[in-house]
Amino acid sequence: MNNLGSYTQNETVGMDELTMEIRALIKSSSALNQIKENWEEQHKELSVALEKNRRLWTFIAAAMKDEECQHPIEVRQNVLNLANYIFKRTNEVLLHPAPEKLEILITINMQIANGLSGKA
């Protein structure tokens, strides 16, 4: 493992689940924004960044479906609807890539991260 990987792994030790989710949303949003802002040089990295974002939202959706989830049913359903939107939008972007199509995915991730961190 390289030094950066070791640092990243050590950085998350002791972090609570909420903090890790916030960081994951911000990191995914940042990766998508980097591609959007540097489309000519980085558009080949799009499928990897979108797949990471999809996996993150798959994790979030699974948590909302868990019987032990403490969130109210309305919140859970709203998050599941949002996850479904993310999945559909991801497929659209993969089929017809364009930098401006990433904006909504970036915005959603950042808004959810801000909401989770209490900045909304």
Mean pLDDT (whole number) for 60-84: 95
| C-alpha span between 70 and 73 (Å, rounded) | 9
Phi/psi of residue 88, nearest 5 degrees? -65, -45
Can you say whether residue 71 is alpha, beta or left, with left for phi > 0 and alpha for psi between -120 and 50 degrees?
beta
Residue 14 pLDDT level (bands cut at 50, 70, 90): low
Phi/psi of residue 40, nearest 5 degrees? -60, -40
Top CATH class, 17-116: mainly alpha
Mean pLDDT (whole number) for 94-106: 98
Q: Where are the domains of the chain?
A: 17-116
| C-alpha span between 41 and 27 (Å, rounded) | 19
Give pTM, 2 decimals. 0.84
Residue 1 is predicted with a pLDDT of 36
Residue 119 is predicted with a pLDDT of 58
